[in-house]
């Protein structure tokens, strides 16, 4: 066997960014198998050979059907989600026990592979927990505070999931995160920095470039948000900031699904010139970004925020909170701005400056386009993973 070639297995709920990684590992001849809770009928579009993909979809599909149903029940959804994690782990442990040859390493999305990872470690393999957000308890604490700020009695996560996550963090040989913010959250929760590895996501920009002209700011000011329109994403603070913005013809478009909890408090915010567009295709999103003057991502907690790089590729500067991957993507006051969380005044100040300062928007837009050329795509992401896996496995 080639001493630099590794046998890598992945486990993931659904897709997330793991199929981007799987394609990179397959291209480098490291991928042994990726296990997912989605059916092959959905996964075949991800472009991997069928023999590399194994699926365990029944429980996850039932959970998704329930969450889309008018009869959605949070308690039952939690039960199905937890059952899915346990059953998927039990199934993957059986698959890996009979895998030949045995994998060198398992990369499990956080919440998966507690039993599987531990058993692989006993056989001499490496287990990496891949966390796409902040530390689970950090996330639970900050979002719990946020729901209480808005008077919402909502549980952030199932306590069993939190306990399972923290057991995974302790057991894993390494933890990977996509942003400096995520890494800081682990440090704040007492996880040794030597165990946490930052590998920023790649940004595929082939579909994102300016295709529609931006109106003159003096004539109309266009603001866009992209992602889940939710309390977690800090949308209430954007609505507050936009309402106080001074411009005779302004518009805020929110692109993405509307969270029920946010919908329940929308009556508290002025709705003038605000459009809730809903989910859109990437082609539509690119068109809207290209015709907008700024994208705002004021998240309370956000592992990365791929939409920021996409907006920059369309010449659209970014205003992002400190609790995103913004500081890894852009330089404050060069391609956009980094603002504190929960700070509608800071968002409004930066938006108003774009309106009132001649030449500022053009300067930021030009810098954003230049910065995009330096961003690593998924090949760069694969390089980061390959380097880490070589180090961990000793190959």
* Contact between 31 and 22 (Cβ < 8 Å): yes
What pLDDT, on the 0 to 100 scale, is given for residue 155?
Answer: 84
Question: Rounded to whole angstroms, how far apart are CA atoms 7 and 362?
Answer: 48
Residues 201/304, Cβ–Cβ less than 8 Å: yes
Query: For 255-304, how does the pLDDT look when each residue is reduced to its tens digit (9 = 90+)?
Result: 999 999 999 999 999 999 999 999 999 999 999 999 999 999 999 999 99
pLDDT tens for each residue of 145-173: 999 999 998 888 889 999 999 999 999 99
Q: Residue 54 has what DSSP assignment? A: E
- Say whether pLDDT at 1 is over 80: no
pLDDT higher than threshold 70 for residue 3: no
More confident call, 183 vs 77: 183
The answer to whether the pTM exceeds 0.85 is yes
pLDDT of residue 53: 98
Q: Which domains does the chain have, with CATH numbers?
A: 8-202+377-393 (3.40.50.2000), 221-372 (3.40.50.2000)
What's the burial of 287, exposed, middle or buried (CB within 10 Å: 0-12/13-18/19+)? middle
d(C-alpha 361, C-alpha 213), whole Å: 14
* Distance between CA atoms of residues 97 and 120, nearest Å: 8
Gap between the Cα atoms of 18 and 20, Å rounded = 5
pLDDT at 201 over 70: yes
Q: What is the pLDDT of residue 69?
A: 83
Nearest-angstrom CA–CA distance, 321 and 341: 5
pLDDT at position 119, please? Answer: 97
Backbone angles phi, psi at 168, to 5 degrees: -65, -45
């Amino acid at each position: 066997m080639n001493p630099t070639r590794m046998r890598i297995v992945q486990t993931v709920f659904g897709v997330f960014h793991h199929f981007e990684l799987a394609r990179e590992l397959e291209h480098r001849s490291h991928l042994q198998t990726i296990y997912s809770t989605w059916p092959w009928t959905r996964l075949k579009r991800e472009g991997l050979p069928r023999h590399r993909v194994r699926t365990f979809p029944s429980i996850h599909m039932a959970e998704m059907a329930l969450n889309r149903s008018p009869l959605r029940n949070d308690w039952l959804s939690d039960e199905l989600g937890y059952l899915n994690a346990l059953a998927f782990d039990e199934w993957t442990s059986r698959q890996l026990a009979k895998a030949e040859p045995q994998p060198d390493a398992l990369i499990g999305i956080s919440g998966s592979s507690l039993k599987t990872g531990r058993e692989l470690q006993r056989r001499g393999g490496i287990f990496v927990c891949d966390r796409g957000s902040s530390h689970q308890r950090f996330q639970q604490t900050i979002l719990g505070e946020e729901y209480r700020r808005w008077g919402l009695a909502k549980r952030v996560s199932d306590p069993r999931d939190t306990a399972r996550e923290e057991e995974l963090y302790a057991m894993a040989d390494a933890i990977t995160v996509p942003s400096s913010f995520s890494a800081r959250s682990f440090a704040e929760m007492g996880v040794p920095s030597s165990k946490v590895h930052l590998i920023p996501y790649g940004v595929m920009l082939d579909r994102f470039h300016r295709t529609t002209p931006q109106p003159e700011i003096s004539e109309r000011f266009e603001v866009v948000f992209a992602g889940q329109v939710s309390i977690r994403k800090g949308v209430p603070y954007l609505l507050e900031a936009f309402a106080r913005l001074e411009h005779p013809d302004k518009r805020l478009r929110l692109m993405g699904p509307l969270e029920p909890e946010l919908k329940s408090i929308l009556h508290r915010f002025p709705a003038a010139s605000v459009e809730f567009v809903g989910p859109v295709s990437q082609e539509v999103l690119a068109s809207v970004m290209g015709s907008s003057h700024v994208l705002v991502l004021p998240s309370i907690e956000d592992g990365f925020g791929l939409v920021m790089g996409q907006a920059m590729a369309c010449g659209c500067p970014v205003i992002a909170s400190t609790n995103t991957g913004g500081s890894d993507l852009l330089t404050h006051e060069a391609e956009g701005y980094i603002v504190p969380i929960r700070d509608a005044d800071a968002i409004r100040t930066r938006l108003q400056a774009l309106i009132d300062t001649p030449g500022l928007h053009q300067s930021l837009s030009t810098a954003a386009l230049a910065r995009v050329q330096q961003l690593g795509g998924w090949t760069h992401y694969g390089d980061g993973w390959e380097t880490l896996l070589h180090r961990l496995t000793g190959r």
